[in-house]
Amino acid sequence: EAMEKSRPLWDNPLQFVFACISYAVGLGNVWRFPYLCQMYGGGGFLIPYFIMLIAEGMPLLYLELAVGQRMRQGSIGAWKIISPYLCGVGVASVVVSFFLSMYYNVINAWAFWYLFHSFQDPLPWATCPLNSNRTGYEEECEKTSSTQYFWYRKTLNISPSLEASGSVQWEQALCLVLAWLVVYLCILRGTASTGKVVYVTASLPYCVLIIYLIRGLTLHGAVNGLVYMFTPKLEQLSNPKTWISAATQIFFSLGLGFGSLIAFASYNEPSNNCERHAIIVSLINSTTSIFASIVTFSIYGFKATFNYESCINKVILLLMNAFDLEEGSLTADNLNEMKDYLMATHPQEYAQLSPQLKNCSLEAELDTAVQGTGLAFIVYSEAIKNMEVPQLYSVLYFFMLLMLGIGSMLGNTAAILTPLTDSKVIAAHFPKEVIAGVVCFINCVIGLIFTMEAGNYWFDIFNDYAATLSLLLIVLVETIAVCYIYGIRRFEKDLQTMIGRKPNWYWKIMWAFASPLLIISLFIFYLTDYILTGTLQYQAWDATQGQLVTKDYPGYALAVIGLLVAASALCIPLGALVTLIRKRLKRETVSTV
């Protein structure tokens, strides 16, 4: 029987919704979605985004929630009930979630590190530190910016390449241990403890975002950022990458395929209205992405305007000193005319000075696309340092990052722990607290790799390759399994039993045709992209230039990338093969008897 009578439940449906929001609304909404808006048409990107939400996001979220709620098992048990040959699908989800947990909590460690430094006055990334002789600034910092220097040198102490692995940075290692300790305390008692924590991790980020929205909209230059965001560049709609990016963002921001949603739904009452909750969670997730983008672009506009005006002022000061101009004769409004005039009247002097004269452009500042850790830890910290009372906004921002990160980690660990605690063999020998402790300890120890000097390069490898192709394959098999192996009519009856009505034509068409075709298209795109890319490359920090440089991955890194993809993807065919062999051996044993 699929339903387990003794299974612990959420206190109420609202707690389940908060758990899903806490998991789904994560760092990707804050640092990935604004980047995609910037890259693919500003407000125009919302068109493919909402089409993909309707065609892919909502149906697949509903499907996973319904499977978890009906089968009352974690990912391994749920797919095993649908068909014994699908046990590998659940194992693949657990493997992907394990990979994600290994590196994702490092972001929380970095958030802790920045949070602790946010109480200093001035902020440690506000200015460049003095050199050892105290005669000037550190050379590496002078070649870049104070915020980049603090990130690459003080936080990561990054090595020049992946080959120079270096040693473990003990400050980052301690922050990582703290991050895992917090996660462990949150999951210690299963739904009893997680259910209370999700109220905080789901709601607090919105409070901080509202504070930042109010502050962001009052910043000088915020309008420039918002105009840039909402101005639609409709020509981008003809770019296939725009649609691929929209589909990918929906897919990953909802956390499909990891097994976390199935795990959360398995603790629901059998009569819970999972259809309504799928719509609510997906709409809140997408609304949050847009809301976070408004906040990000208002701050981005402030930063771009600040940099643009600083650039203009430096050029004005340089020209006034070189040509002994009167105070106030040169302004931002007449700068171009004065440059032309000085070039015509003092050609030799102007030619000598021209290499030092930067070409200041607000549009160029706004066009600088940054995502991921670059947006979270460099761009935001650069904007914060120029605000009034920067310590307050720094504490609020990195506390928000921490809440978002911990909320996602609760889902990741649930995807691993639920199948383990569902196993009668493991649960009979070890209590939940011990199982959770062992999982956290193993992840923490392996995660120390990411605190080494080359740790950020390994972080990028896991972030780029540990989940993408594997998740697409997992969700494709899930959809085909429900529609064509378990049977869509049988699934309809299950839903009628649970929520009192059958799914309408929209859900059935999306499950049976539209969503699988979209996933296959994404899968082919990523596979083709990897093949056409040729030698895989990464961005390494060059301290002598104070900038990122492109390098080829060494052979062993390529082997790790291959293993990351294969380790989870091969679980699906291997699971089916093992089940087939077991059944044949059982038949042979019965026939000989």
- Mapped to the 3 state alphabet, what secondary structure does 241-305 carry? HHHHHHHHHHHHHCCCCCCHHHHHHCCCCCCCCHHHHHHHHHHHHHHHHHHHHHHHHHHHHHHHH
Residue 130's SS3 state is strand
Cα–Cα distances in Å, from 254 out to 61, 184, 284? 7, 23, 10
Q: Where are the alpha helices (DSSP H) in 130-169?
A: 139-143, 146-149
Contacts of 495 (CB under 8 A, 6+ apart): 66, 70, 275, 501, 502, 503
Residue 229 tokens read as 């965001």
Asked if 215 and 393 touch (Cβ cutoff 8 Å), the reply is yes
Question: What are the respective helix, strand and coil percentages of the chain, to the nearest 5?
Answer: 75, 5, 20
- Domains along the sequence of the chain with CATH: 14-591 (1.10.4160)
- How far is it, in rounded angstroms, from Cα 62 to Cα 99? 25
Residue 452's SS3 state is strand
Strands (E), 461-574: 537-542, 547-552
The single-letter code of the amino acid at 328 is: G
pLDDT in tens, 49-87: 999 999 999 999 999 999 999 999 999 999 999 999 999
Those residues of the chain that have pLDDT short of 50 are: 1-5
Binding positions for Na(+): 24-25, 29, 253, 285, 404, 408
Cα–Cα distances in Å, from 169 out to 150, 155, 157, 176, 398? 15, 9, 8, 11, 21
- How far is it, in rounded angstroms, from Cα 556 to Cα 554? 6
Cα–Cα distances in Å, from 256 out to 58, 71, 164, 512? 10, 17, 36, 17
CB atoms within 10 A of CB 371: 17
Asked if 55 and 444 touch (Cβ cutoff 8 Å), the reply is no
Contacts of 156 (CB under 8 A, 6+ apart): 169, 172, 453, 455, 456
Cα–Cα distances in Å, from 261 out to 97, 132, 278, 374? 12, 53, 10, 29
- How far is it, in rounded angstroms, from Cα 514 to Cα 486? 18
Residue 209 tokens read as 């975002």
Cα–Cα distances in Å, from 532 out to 197, 235, 525, 538? 45, 25, 10, 16
Contacts of 463 (CB under 8 A, 6+ apart): 103, 372
Helix H or strand E encompassing 53: none
Residue 556 tokens read as 């062993």
Output the pLDDT for position 34.
87
Residue 593 tokens read as 């008897």
Q: What is the DSSP string of 548-581?
A: EEEEEPPHHHHHHHHHHHHHHHTHHHHHHHHHHH
Contacts of 242 (CB under 8 A, 6+ apart): 40, 41, 45, 48, 236
Output the pLDDT for position 183.
96
Output the pLDDT for position 3.
42
Q: Which residues are paired to 218 by β-bridges?
A: none
Output the pLDDT for position 18.
92
Torsion over CA: 179, 183, 186, 188 (sign): negative
- How far is it, in rounded angstroms, from Cα 142 to Cα 136? 9
Contacts of 186 (CB under 8 A, 6+ apart): 193, 194, 197, 406, 410
Q: Which residues are paired to 130 by β-bridges?
A: 137
Binding positions: 24-25, 29, 253, 285, 404, 408
